[in-house]
Amino acid sequence: MDDLKAKYLDLIANASDEAAIEEVRLAAVGKKGEVSLKMRELGKMTPEERQVAGPALNALKDEINAALTAKKTALADAALEERLKSEWLDVTLPSRHARQGTVHPISQVTEEVMAIFADMGFTVAEGPQIESDWYNFDALNIPSHHSARAEMDTFYMKTPEGSNDAPPVLRTHTSPVQIRALEKNGAPIRVIAPGRVYRADYDQTHTPMFNQVEGLAIGKDISMANLKWVLEEFLSAFFGKRVKTRFRASHFPFTEPSAEVDVQCKWEDGKVTVGEGDDWLEILGSGMVHPKVLEAAGVDPNEGQGFAFGIGIDRIAMLKYGIPDLRAFFDSDLRWLRHYGFSALDVPTLHGGLSR
């Protein structure tokens, strides 16, 4: 027994890898190993011989298995130590810079717009982006022959099979929200409705999807003078300076009288700066809500009147923060977002004008 013990313990001690360890294990205690074969011979021995040989063989087998396990652990520890030497990491070094996401200019400007109008007593109203023909056109006094209802300008959805209803549309403005808000809350009311709208157009200053904010105020004695004051206060607060405005007579089916609103600006080196100079730039549409629109929303035009206006959020974002191309808002270019985006704690500042 002592010879077998010395033989296999020596082989185990000199084994250089796990393959060599496995060879020793098979030779010693495998099914056909030397120690295993000797244990099978116990049945041929006398009881007296088994009492001596059995414990000795079991002790030898246990000692060999223990030595095998210890050697495997030693080899694994040595391999790990070598790997750590070649793959070391200095935990005292500063970590890599982790880029943080930014607030999109559209989200930033939308929050600015809502905050300014909130100070003037306007609440926020919302509505669906897929609208019925009634809310998007009919209730807003837009006649059936109006160009806005043409398929080249408006995205129509498929009508459910067997239905005789007009096909739903991707809303072309947030004006349907004013109808829904009046139906739900009645008058008097002061709301703004920011959100996405859709029109079939695409160039440097137009995209098929863009963002708009609709404003609506209905009461007993609301007039164009109130509209003018609200818009001038908003524009001055938004651009951070007193902004002169010019109202030009226009026509919209849902307002009467209607007016386009221009802001004072100057063009210099291909850029426009709002609130300075002798030029004018059209910025939004507005007017007094048409009596037919009030009737469609369930408001008696003899009992109340008011104004409405619509502003392109993307447009005023371009003007305030010097963004030259509207299409870049929706390209998901991370470089553009890092340049024009805002951190959560940024305080907005003027960055220049819109490239011409």
- Average pLDDT over the chain reads 86
Question: Do the beta carbons of residue 133 and residue 168 sit within 8 Å?
Answer: yes
In the 3-class helix/strand/coil scheme, how is the chain assigned residue by residue?
A: CHHHHHHHHHHHHHCCCHHHHHHHHHHHHCCCCHHHHHHHHHHHCCHHHHHHHHHHHHHHHHHHHHHHHHHHHHHHHHHHHHHHHHCCCCCCCCCCCCCCCCECHHHHHHHHHHHHHHHCCCEECCCCCEECHHHHCHHHCCCCCCHHHCCCCCCECCCCCCCCCCCCEECCCCCHHHHHHHHHHCCCEEEEEEEEEECCCCECCECCEEEEEEEEEEECCCCHHHHHHHHHHHHHHHHCCCCCEEEEEEEECCEEEEEEEEEEEEEECCEEEECCCCEEEEEEEEEEECHHHHHHCCCCCCCCEEEEEEEEHHHHHHHHHCCCCHHHHHCCCHHHHHHHCECCCCCCCCCECEEC
**pLDDT at res. 1:** 64
> Mean pLDDT highest for which of 91-105, 129-143, 146-160, 196-210?
129-143
**pLDDT at res. 203:** 66
CA distance 310 to 305: 17
**pLDDT at res. 10:** 81
Question: Is residue 335 scored above 70 in pLDDT?
Answer: yes
Q: Quick one: which of 287, 306, 297 has its CA closest to 188? A: 306
**pLDDT at res. 345:** 67
pLDDT cut 90: percent of the chain above it: 43
Question: Is residue 211 scored above 90 in pLDDT?
Answer: yes
Question: Is residue 52 scored above 80 in pLDDT?
Answer: no
Q: Report pTM.
A: 0.68
CA distance 188 to 275: 33
More confident residue, 203 or 24: 24
**pLDDT at res. 354:** 40
Question: Is residue 114 scored above 50 in pLDDT?
Answer: yes
CA distance 278 to 295: 42
**pLDDT at res. 355:** 40
User: pLDDT of 272-293, one tens digit each?
Assistant: 888 888 899 999 999 999 999 9
- Peptide bond between residue 253 and the one before it cis (omega within 30 degrees of 0): no
- Break the chain into its structural domains and give their ranges: 2-86, 105-355
Where does the pLDDT of residue 183 fall: very low under 50, low under 70, confident under 90, or very high at 90 and above?
very high
Whole-number Cα distances in Å, 125 to 177, 184, 214, 274: 7, 11, 9, 29
177 C-beta neighbours (distance < 10 Å), count: 24
Question: Do the beta carbons of residue 286 and residue 131 sit within 8 Å?
Answer: no
Question: Do the beta carbons of residue 249 and residue 222 sit within 8 Å?
Answer: no
More confident residue, 214 or 6: 214
- Amino acid occupying residue 290: H
Structure tokens at 156: 């129509």
Question: Do the beta carbons of residue 62 and residue 35 sit within 8 Å?
Answer: no
| Segment 228-248 mean pLDDT | 94
| Segment 204-220 mean pLDDT | 88
On whether 214 is known to bind a ligand per the annotation, the reply is no
**pLDDT at res. 246:** 94
Lowest model confidence (mean pLDDT) among 83-87, 222-226, 231-235: 83-87
CA distance 256 to 234: 22
Residue with tokens 């652990």: 73
Fold classification of 105-355 is BirA Bifunctional Protein; domain 2 (3.30.930)
Q: For strand 189-198 and strand 123-124, is the pairing parallel, antiparallel, or unpaired?
A: parallel
| Segment 306-326 mean pLDDT | 91
More confident residue, 45 or 244: 244
| Segment 1-26 mean pLDDT | 80
